[in-house]
Amino acid sequence: MAFSNAESIHKTPFRQNHWQQGFLLLFVGVWIGTLIGTSDLNNWLLENTLPIVFMLLLIITNKRFQFSDLSCLLLCLYLCLHVYGSKYTYAENPFGFWLQEQFHTSRNHYDRIVHFSFGFVLAYPMRELFISCWQLPKRLSWIIPIEITISISGMYELIEWAVADVFFKAQGVAYLGIQGDVWDAQKDMFVAFLGAFIGSSIISLIQYKRQSIQ
């Protein structure tokens, strides 16, 4: 698996790349597993709409925008976290309840983990896309993933509102998973921003250290 920097990484086509094929099989397996025994099928369908659209975009654009093995691993990890939350609804996720019990928190924080992971885990794939595929200046590689994360997080909260209040009111409460917190949307956006800030800073620091050593 290639773990070199995004500027010079060698990328093997998907048909010849066993790592990426394995990541796809892993996601499909987790995805099917979340459908089996789901507690709320309608919520599962709603929660899985965006991940499936995202997967289709990755497949369609694979020849033009080819990600490294590391980026594909991170994308797979995030998608698995997202679809796992759809099996039980985010507010009733067993892993979130376990964390709640261990750390004595006031709510199930699994949804916050996924929002944080959106910024933290996807910072590297976004950096790679901007530098390697779109040839953007390296000086922008720290700030753009953070800005994109904030923008997408805001758009996602608007989509959640539309789903919950306009299109599917019956599934709205389960889909939102606010658990009585009126500031849930703002906190979700903040933890996504925080994840992107930390992830981008770590990546930039690693790249800086590598350049200084060379």
pLDDT of residue 160: 75
| Mean of pLDDT values over 105-121 | 92
Give the pair of three-digit tokens for residue 31.
């995805």
Q: Is a pLDDT exceeding 70 seen at residue 168?
A: no
Could you give the maximum distance between any two Cα atoms of the chain, in Å?
58
Distance of CA 115 to the CA centre of its chain: 7
Is the pTM for the entire model greater than 0.85? no
- The structural domains of the chain, with segments of one domain joined by +, span 14-213
pLDDT of residue 4: 47
More confident of the two residues 12 and 214: 12
Measured CA to CA, the distance from residue 103 to residue 94 in angstroms comes to 14
Measured CA to CA, the distance from residue 202 to residue 120 in angstroms comes to 10
